[in-house]
Structure 1
Amino acid sequence: MAKLLNLDPLTPMFAQFKEKTGPIALANTFVVPKGQTEAFLVLFRRQAEFMKAQPGFVSFQMHMGTAGSRLLMNIAVWESTEALATAFGSPEFQRLAAEFPDDIVSYPHIFEQIDV
């Protein structure tokens, strides 16, 4: 299973699940070892198909770092933190998440859109 680390150590993602708000964006940055990107994407696509079928899912996009970067970032939009937490906590999602190799590192964090 991928190692989950907190992007903001003072506000872990699991604490963010307790905030009832929405719509939200989950930004999840992955550090993928060199040479494993294609295998990672195969697993991620399976996970994404499951998530797309869950209540409250809106959209997602995957981005890859440039210039040989090992980083990939998924931006997923959900109607609410509750919908994301329910999908994330489901046994099927947990089974799919367990398929990722231990050397993948994930930095998930939940954001709300603001006006600037």
Structure 2
Amino acid sequence: MHTLLDNVPAHAANTDQGAAMPRPVTLINVFEVPEGQREATLAGWERAAAFLSVQPGYLGTALHESLAPDARFRFINVAQWTTPDAFRAAAAAMREQRIFPKIPGLAIHPALYTVIRNAAPEAA
């Protein structure tokens, strides 16, 4: 089972070349939820979200649930943080305080991302 820090390299960059201000980073965390563990996972996510929402650098989060109950990733969490370091510090504090419960069979796969391209609909 992965922790919230496993896939977040310490050297994760979050600035444009030459830019003085860091760009926000996006945490995308996918959850493989075993049969019968949906409610426990939701309760754990809600507890973690409440804890993380008051941490420095937190910008917001949204939890998505697959429309197909047999999807490999039942939940996908997308969160915004000011910097990789802000996320790492908050995740370490969450882990230290054991905010997210151990759920048998649950596998999470977190990683931090930055936007490198945007596409908007073309004007009609």
**TM-score, L = length of structure 1:** 0.81
Displacement after TM superposition at 1:18 (Å):
2.5
Asked whether the 8 Å contact 2:8–2:111 carries over to 1, the reply is: no
Aligned partner of 1:101 among 100, 103, 116:
103
Higher helix share: 1
Unaligned runs of 5+ in 1: 6-11
Asked whether the 8 Å contact 1:20–1:82 carries over to 2, the reply is: no
Equivalent position amino acid for 2:76 in 1: M
Deviations 1:6-55 (A, max 9, x none): xxxxxx6232x322423100000000112211111011101110000001
Identical residues among aligned pairs (%)? 26
Q: Which has the higher relative contact order, 1 or 2, with Cα contacts under 8 A spaced 6 or more apart?
A: 1
Aligned partner of 1:112 among 104, 114, 124:
114
Displacement after TM superposition at 1:63 (Å):
0.5
Equivalent position amino acid for 2:2 in 1: L
Figure out how many residues of one structure are paired with residues of the other and give that number: 104
Asked whether the 8 Å contact 1:29–1:108 carries over to 2, the reply is: yes
Asked whether the 8 Å contact 1:23–1:79 carries over to 2, the reply is: yes
Unaligned runs of 5+ in 2: 15-22, 119-124
Alignment partner, residue 20 of structure 2: none
**TM-score, L = length of structure 2:** 0.76
Is 1:66 matched up with 2:67?
yes
Alignment partner, residue 13 of structure 1: 7
Displacement after TM superposition at 1:69 (Å):
3.0
Higher strand share: 1
Bigger Rg, which one: 2
Aligned-residue Cα RMSD (Å) equals 1.7
Equivalent position amino acid for 1:19 in 2: A
